[in-house]
Chains A and B, each alone.
Chain A
Amino acid sequence: MTKFLETALIIHILLGLVGVSSVYFIWTGFLKKTMKLSSLIKSGWIALVSFVLSWLSGGYYYVAYYGDNVKPVIKAGDYPWAHSVFTETKEHLFLFLPFLTLMILIALYFYGDKLDKNEKLKKSLTLLSGITFFLGVFITLAGVIISGANR
């Protein structure tokens, strides 16, 4: 693996983690009686930018290196399901994250100041951020499974 690909993988993982952490912060922020709207909006931006950059760096690594170098090793090894189930699922579910984060950010911008009075909408958005967090966790752990199968 070249240094550039190594860097792409490192950026992909670390920014993915930053994104998931930011979504967790938003989720717990929605659960408070009084939301700190400016902090949530900042976290929303951090999450969106992190997921987009993680998407791009991970995508580059996947297209330029994974297919020819890692996938055959995993498929020939003891854990071929790591690719057929987890890589395949992860690469498609990851595409959801920037859209969902964008949705949350738009909601915060247009309805953020009304949410403390609109319990039902707040609950729906809390659920959306919780779902986004768990999707992010699944994707992160799928990455651990895939990396561990590369032997």
Chain B
Amino acid sequence: MVASIVGVSVSILFLLVMTVVSELVPELKVWLTNSFSHHWVGKGVLSIAVFLVFFGLDRTYKTKITEKGLVGAVNTLNILVIFSAVLILLFFIYEGLHS
């Protein structure tokens, strides 16, 4: 379960960063489009890859965690999801107002 929390957390963080950076750096969006036929497909494929890599790494190194630590990890994921979702919405509201 720890591996999945790590994998999901890093993927969501990755999606947040990719979303914002690809809008601010057009070259990244172009690269995603050229490599994956569409920037959105690229973000999806790369986020799955990120999940699998970090899931695999954690499973390989067999992170030990207490039950208290597990609760903390899930709570951290909860905060990360809310933070990322709100930030993405605010970012596109800002972009929408200034485009």
- A contacts, CB < 8 Å to B: 55, 59, 62-63, 67, 80-81, 84-85, 88-89, 91-93, 95-96, 99-100, 102-103, 106-107, 110-111, 118, 120-121, 124-125, 127-128, 131, 135, 138
Contact = CB atoms under 8 A, between A and B. Distances in A.
A contact patch SS: helix
A25 to B, nearest CB: 19
A1 B19 CA distance: 29
B82 A125 contact: no
Contact of A131 (B47, B51, B78, B92): B78
Interface residues of B, number: 36
B28 interface: no
B75 to A, nearest CB: 5
Contacts of A100: 8, 81
A135 B37 contact: no
Nearest to B18: A92
